[in-house]
């Protein structure tokens, strides 16, 4: 039932009831309950939806100092921590000299020395070389280096950063060769000394005698020669030792030109010492020789050949004993 019809029916009933009742006294008028009608919607043809307009964001106001500090603190807390630089990470590491040590311009003994550290001196480390056997530090306001095995380190050496300003290795300078000093021309060789004037008319030719074994009879033989090397006869040769003394002349006794010989001991054992040299010939020397008895030995006219025999089976024979004339 529609609301209009319901309302009309209600009014009719109220009127009918009022007329049929007896007036006994004032009676309350019954009131019918009122019902609120539902709203009626009417469709509007060609309806167009209204566009929704969104409000733009409000401009950001400038932050106050307090807000700036809070924002900076928040950003600092959230941002990652930056890695420390080489100098910052090495600032707490110190080197201390264990003894007197050279300070160099670079990490190596081929760099020049620019100072030294005494035992106990300490400096902050600013770096190391890639091998880790040299440390860098500030010395008199400039980067300097010291060898690692002569200092001690206050912290782990592995924490020291490699230095970025390592100087280049110095190139060796070529060693200048000393200029040769001018030399004076060599002095001409000194002339050989003049041979000494012969002391005697004859001289023993040194080294001419040859020794040989002779277990039987001790024997000496030789020759007298002119200055030109040819045999010279008639020159007296003296042989003296502790036994008999004998004089013979060269070429005598059938010995041959310029030759002479002695067998002073016969088959017996004699050792000397023997002396053989040229003497002035006495008169009447036989070809077999002249044996002298007593008196002093004759004056020598030549150098002497001397020998002592210790074992005639090793050296009991001497040959080629040569005396040479120095004057003719």
Quick: pLDDT tens for 204-219: 998 899 988 888 888 8
* Domain limits, CATH 2.60.40, in the chain: 202-325
| Of 201, 230, 220, 218, residue with least CA distance to 303 | 201
* Domain limits, CATH 2.30.30.40, in the chain: 86-159
Q: Give me the pLDDT at residue 112, please.
A: 93
Q: Considering the entire predicted model, what is its pTM?
A: 0.41
Q: Are the C-beta atoms of residues 297 and 274 closer than 8 Å to each other?
A: no
More confident residue, 55 or 110: 110
Write the CATH number of the domain with boundaries 86-159.
Answer: 2.30.30.40
Coil/strand/helix, residue 95:
strand
Q: Are the C-beta atoms of residues 214 and 307 closer than 8 Å to each other?
A: no
pLDDT exceeds 80 at position 51: no
Beta-carbon contacts of 263 under 8 Å, excluding residues fewer than 6 positions away, are 217, 218, 219, 220
Q: Give me the pLDDT at residue 75, please.
A: 37
Q: Give me the pLDDT at residue 260, please.
A: 92
Confidence grade of residue 195 (pLDDT, cut at 50, 70, 90):
low
Coil/strand/helix, residue 11:
helix
Q: Give me the pLDDT at residue 8, please.
A: 66
Q: Give me the pLDDT at residue 72, please.
A: 39
Tokens of 201: 């008319």
Beta bridge partners of 8: none
Q: Which residues of 25-42 are buried (b: 16+ CB within 10 A; e: fewer)?
A: eeeeeeeeeeeeeeeeee
More confident residue, 327 or 7: 327
**Mean predicted confidence (pLDDT) in 143-162:** 92
pLDDT digits (tens, 9 = 90+) for 229-242: 999 999 999 988 87
Phi and psi at 142, nearest 5°, equal -130, 150
Q: Give me the pLDDT at residue 181, please.
A: 78
Q: Give me the pLDDT at residue 13, please.
A: 62
Rounded CA-CA distance 291/298 in Å is 12
**Within a 13 Å sphere around the CA of 89, how many CA atoms are in the beta-carbon half?**
15
Confidence grade of residue 4 (pLDDT, cut at 50, 70, 90):
low
| Of 320, 305, 289, residue with least CA distance to 200 | 305
Taking the CB of residue 125, how many other CB atoms lie within 10 A of it?
28
Segment holding 151, helix H or strand E: strand 151-153
pLDDT exceeds 70 at position 124: yes
Mean pLDDT taken over the chain = 77
pLDDT digits (tens, 9 = 90+) for 128-140: 999 999 999 999 9
Confidence grade of residue 196 (pLDDT, cut at 50, 70, 90):
low
Phi and psi at 152, nearest 5°, equal -110, 150
CATH topology of domain 202-325: Immunoglobulin-like (2.60.40)
Q: How do strand 219-225 and strand 317-325 relate by DSSP bridges?
A: parallel
């Amino acid at each position: 039932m529609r609301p209009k019809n319901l309302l009309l029916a209600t009014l009719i009933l109220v009127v009918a009831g009022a007329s049929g009742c007896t007036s006994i006294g004032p009676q309350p008028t019954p009131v019918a309950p009122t019902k609120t009608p539902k709203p009626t919607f009417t469709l509007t043809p060609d309806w167009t939806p209204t566009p929704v307009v969104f409000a733009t964001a409000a401009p950001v106001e400038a932050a106050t100092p307090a807000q700036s500090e809070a924002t900076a603190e928040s950003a600092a807390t959230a941002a990652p921590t930056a890695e420390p630089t080489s100098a910052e990470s090495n600032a707490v590491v110190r080197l201390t000299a264990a003894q007197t040590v050279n300070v160099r311009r670079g990490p190596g003994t081929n760099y020049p020395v620019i100072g030294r550290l005494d035992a106990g001196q300490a400096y902050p480390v600013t770096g190391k070389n890639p091998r880790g056997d040299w440390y860098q530090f500030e010395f008199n306001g400039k980067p300097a280096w010291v060898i690692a095995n002569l200092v001690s380190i206050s912290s782990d050496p592995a924490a020291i950063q490699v230095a970025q300003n390592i100087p280049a290795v110095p190139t060796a300078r070529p060693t200048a060769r000393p200029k040769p000093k001018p030399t004076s021309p060599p002095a001409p060789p000194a002339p050989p000394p003049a041979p000494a004037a012969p002391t005697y008319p004859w001289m023993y030719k040194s080294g001419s005698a040859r020794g040989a074994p002779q277990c039987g009879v001790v024997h000496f033989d030789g020759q007298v020669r002119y200055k030109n090397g040819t045999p010279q006869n008639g020159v007296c040769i003296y042989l003296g030792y502790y036994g008999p003394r004998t004089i013979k002349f060269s070429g005598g006794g059938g010995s041959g030109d310029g030759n002479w010989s002695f067998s002073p001991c016969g088959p017996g054992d004699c050792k000397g010492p023997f002396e053989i040299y040229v003497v002035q010939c006495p008169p009447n020397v036989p070809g077999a020789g002249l044996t002298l008895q007593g008196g002093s030995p004759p004056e020598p006219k030549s150098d002497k050949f001397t020998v002592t025999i210790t074992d005639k089976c090793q050296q009991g024979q001497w040959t080629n004993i040569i005396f040479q004339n120095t004057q003719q």
